[in-house]
């Protein structure tokens, strides 16, 4: 898996974490990086010191670029289902839907959901460095809706998201979970949990889904649930389901996320890669505790 090829200073996010690019350009960058990473994987794992620095830089680049697949497709899904305009550079708040009242054909709604699911599966394949990852990425690119090909993805240097992206900490969380429960599904609060959620689900070998709930960057007051989300979750109602956010400081996001979603499941648990030692929120499973 890609996470085994990531070496970095996990206290301070790298400069490469801050970037902005159109969706189609990000996909092209990933396509260019992937063959070299796949070709060098076995050698890198066997003898890290023999690999050129550029190889490790490419691995971090792929690690940081891949979440864009899910981020943009989720934004596309939310806009279409909530009646928001499709704009390449502006993320409309869900509260603005009453102002625009946009409508889209039913087939388009279905397609956005199919594409969203495909984005999660493709991203997981990239992180898993599956042998057919290049071919799967090609299929994903061929099916890219033209309307979102130019959507701009922006990544910022968020130290908490970066710290929660540490593969060792995500592995600690996965190990902790596996000692107590075998989840049938991981549901992440997006967009912050996308990177670590992809790694966690691969480690757990568990289905993965994301629901948008971004209290601070998108001013969401509650998880954005559509009929398509409820339909996806229905087969997992018996659980156990893992409700996930990458880090817990005050814990407001994970608390509200779990309060909304727990009633849908007979058995569910909360989880976070990082938890501030003084946080009033205490997830059922935590990778590491931290102090400032």
Per-residue pLDDT of the chain (292 residues; tens, 9 = 90+): 899 999 899 989 999 999 999 999 999 999 999 999 999 999 999 999 999 999 999 999 999 999 999 999 999 999 999 999 998 888 777 876 667 778 899 999 999 999 999 999 999 999 999 999 999 999 999 999 999 999 999 999 988 899 999 999 999 999 999 999 999 999 999 998 999 999 999 999 999 999 999 876 777 789 999 999 999 999 999 999 999 999 988 888 999 999 999 999 999 999 999 998 777 889 999 998 877 6
The Cα-based distances of 283 to 7, 234, 264, 272 in angstroms read 27, 23, 18, 7
Residue length of the chain: 292
Rounded to whole angstroms, how far apart are CA atoms 148 and 84?
A: 14
- Cα 10 versus chain centre, distance: 18
- The reported pLDDT for the residue numbered 89 is 84
Instruction: Write out the two tokens for 63.
Output: 């690690």
Rounded to whole angstroms, how far apart are CA atoms 56 and 62?
A: 10
- The reported pLDDT for the residue numbered 104 is 92
User: Is the Cβ–Cβ distance between 94 and 82 less than 8 Å?
Assistant: yes
User: Is the Cβ–Cβ distance between 2 and 62 less than 8 Å?
Assistant: yes
> Any alpha helices (H) in the chain, and if so which ranges?
23-46, 53-65, 67-82, 97-100, 106-128, 133-142, 159-163, 167-178, 194-204, 227-233, 252-261
Q: Which of 246, 243, 191, 185 is nearest to 213 (CA)?
A: 191
- The reported pLDDT for the residue numbered 99 is 73
The domain ranges of the chain are 2-155, 159-290
Residue corresponding to tokens 């009453």: 98
What dotted CATH number matches 159-290?
3.40.50.2020
- The reported pLDDT for the residue numbered 38 is 97
Instruction: Write out the two tokens for 36.
Output: 């070299």
Please name the residues in contact with 59: beta carbons below 8 A apart, sequence gap of 6 or more. Answer: 2, 5, 6, 37, 44
Rounded to whole angstroms, how far apart are CA atoms 277 and 119?
A: 34
- The reported pLDDT for the residue numbered 93 is 78
């Amino acid at each position: 898996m890609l996470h085994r090829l990531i070496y970095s200073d996990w206290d301070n996010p790298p400069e490469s974490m801050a970037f902005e690019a159109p969706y189609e350009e990000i996909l092209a960058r990933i396509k260019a990086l992937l063959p070299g990473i796949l070709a060098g994987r076995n050698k890198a794992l066997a003898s890290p010191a023999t690999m050129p620095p550029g190889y490790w830089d490419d691995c971090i680049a792929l690690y940081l670029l891949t979440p864009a697949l899910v981020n943009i497709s989720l934004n596309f899904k939310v806009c279409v289902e909530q009646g928001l305009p499709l704009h390449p550079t502006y993320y409309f708040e869900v509260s603005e839907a009453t102002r625009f009242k946009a409508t889209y054909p039913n087939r388009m709604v279905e397609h956005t959901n199919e594409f969203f699911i495909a984005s999660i599966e493709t991203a997981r394949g990239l992180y898993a460095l599956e042998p057919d990852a290049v071919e799967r990425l090609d299929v994903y690119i061929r099916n890219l809706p033209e309307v979102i090909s130019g959507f701009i993805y922006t990544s910022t240097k968020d130290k908490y998201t970066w710290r929660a992206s540490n593969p060792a900490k995500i592995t600690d969380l996965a190990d902790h979970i596996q000692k107590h429960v075998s989840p049938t599904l991981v549901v992440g609060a997006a967009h912050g949990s996308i990177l670590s959620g992809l790694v966690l689900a691969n480690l757990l070998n568990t289905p993965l889904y994301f629901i948008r709930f971004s209290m601070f960057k998108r001013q969401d007051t509650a998880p954005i649930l559509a009929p398509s989300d409820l339909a996806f979750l229905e087969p997992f109602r018996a659980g156990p389901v893992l409700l996930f956010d990458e880090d817990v400081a005050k814990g407001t996001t994970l608390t509200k996320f779990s309060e909304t979603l727990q009633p849908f499941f007979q058995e569910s648990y909360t989880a976070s890669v990082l938890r501030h030692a003084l946080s009033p929120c205490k997830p059922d499973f935590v990778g590491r505790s931290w102090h400032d």
